[in-house]
Amino acid sequence: MSISERQKQILSILNDRSFMTVQELSDLTFTSASSIRRDLTYLQDNGLVKRLHGGVSSVSPIANVASFYDRTHKNVKEKRIIAQKASLLLKDGQTILLDSSTTATFLLPYIAKHHNITIFTNNLSTALHAIELGIHTHCLGGHSIGGSTALSGTETFTALANLTVDILFFSSQSLDKEGNISDMTEEENYARKLMLDSAKTKVFLCDGEKFNTQSTYKLCNLRELDYAVFDIPCPDLDPQCKLL
């Protein structure tokens, strides 16, 4: 079975969203609806997607990896609280780096209220949303991590190594009692290490569900950062950085 680049793109999009209409896929890939329908027919014939009335769904999303769409709809209240607090650090004219996390995406409506801001991100969904909001946006290159909208690889790392920004907003999967931040995805973790090196001000975004947990790959410690933003207090933790 041979799959075209556009068909790979369609599969990547469907890994992020459980259902897409033909028109949505047409808009996202800058392709005619008739060409999308032919692609979907081919992908369905090979057991990779399921055609539904008005659109298509993915047959086999990557196991054990929650999609960006699903994560965006998890802990929404908590992420909104974090974004509102973190928005106090925004200023006109800033250059801002957002990592691939969904928590960072919740900052976009606040960023859009400011003037002359430029953002950089390694998440396609974040970039598209920012563009829709009229924010001057740079999407860092690279390949899809596990079919998701998060980008990594040599292109991403090279872009980050040559980048200097005013402020970085990032999240991760775990924060232990000693203030160590960690993640289970090695590629995303390495990209965040480069992001930390690229930013003058470093801001960690974390909801209470991640407190007192630990993942495989250590990123950094809170004492290496400028700010930490939580939705609820973490009384057992001495962050050694400013809290919002």
Residue 152 has pLDDT above 70, yes or no: yes
107 and 170 in a common domain: yes
Containing H/E element for 119?
A: strand 118-121
CA–CA separation, 94 vs 47, rounded Å? Answer: 47
CA–CA distances in Å: residue 72 to residues 28, 66, 101, 102, 192 = 19, 10, 9, 5, 19
Instruction: Tally the residues of the chain.
Output: 244
Bridge pairing between strands 118-121 and 95-98: parallel
Contact 86, 215 (CB under 8 A): no
Mean pLDDT, the chain, integer? 86
- Domain membership of residue 29 as a residue range: 5-58
76 and 9 in a common domain: no
Q: What's residue 62's pLDDT?
A: 39
39 and 81 in a common domain: no
41 and 145 in a common domain: no
Residue 63 has pLDDT above 60, yes or no: no
Highest mean pLDDT pick, 26-40, 154-168, 171-185, 207-221:
154-168
Model confidence at 59, pLDDT cuts 50, 70, 90, reads: low
155 and 237 in a common domain: yes
226 and 135 in a common domain: yes
Number of domains within the chain: 2
Residue that has been written with the tokens 């992001």 in this structure: 195
Q: What's residue 65's pLDDT?
A: 40
Q: What is the mean pLDDT of residues 127-147?
A: 90
SS3 18: coil
Q: What's residue 202's pLDDT?
A: 98
Q: What is the mean pLDDT of residues 170-176?
A: 92
Q: What's residue 218's pLDDT?
A: 92
In a domain, 63, yes or no: no
165 and 54 in a common domain: no
Q: What is the CATH number of the domain that holds 128?
A: 3.40.50.1360
Question: Which of 6-20, 54-68, 98-112 is predicted least confidently?
Answer: 54-68
Model confidence at 234, pLDDT cuts 50, 70, 90, reads: confident
CB-based contacts of 176, cutoff 8 Å, min separation 6 = 182, 212, 213, 214
Q: What's residue 64's pLDDT?
A: 38
Domain end call among 15, 35, 58: 58
37 and 157 in a common domain: no
Q: Measuring CA to CA, which residue among 129, 117, 69 is closest to residue 91?
A: 117
Q: Measuring CA to CA, which residue among 129, 128, 213, 113 is closest to residue 171?
A: 213
Q: What's residue 115's pLDDT?
A: 97
Backbone angles phi, psi at 187, to 5 degrees: -65, -45
215 and 132 in a common domain: yes
Tokens encoding 181: 């931040």
CB-based contacts of 227, cutoff 8 Å, min separation 6 = 86, 89, 201, 202, 203, 204, 241, 242, 243, 244
Q: What's residue 209's pLDDT?
A: 87
Backbone angles phi, psi at 176, to 5 degrees: -90, 180
201 and 115 in a common domain: yes
CA–CA distances in Å: residue 109 to residues 112, 131, 216 = 5, 11, 32
DSSP character for 99? -
Cα 180-184-187 angle, rounded to 5 deg: 105
Bridge pairing between strands 199-206 and 227-230: parallel
Q: What is the CATH number of the domain that holds 20?
A: 1.10.10.10
Model confidence at 18, pLDDT cuts 50, 70, 90, reads: low
Q: What's residue 74's pLDDT?
A: 59
180 and 76 in a common domain: yes
In a domain, 128, yes or no: yes
Question: Which of 17-21, 131-135, 168-172, 223-227 is predicted least confidently?
Answer: 17-21
210 and 110 in a common domain: yes
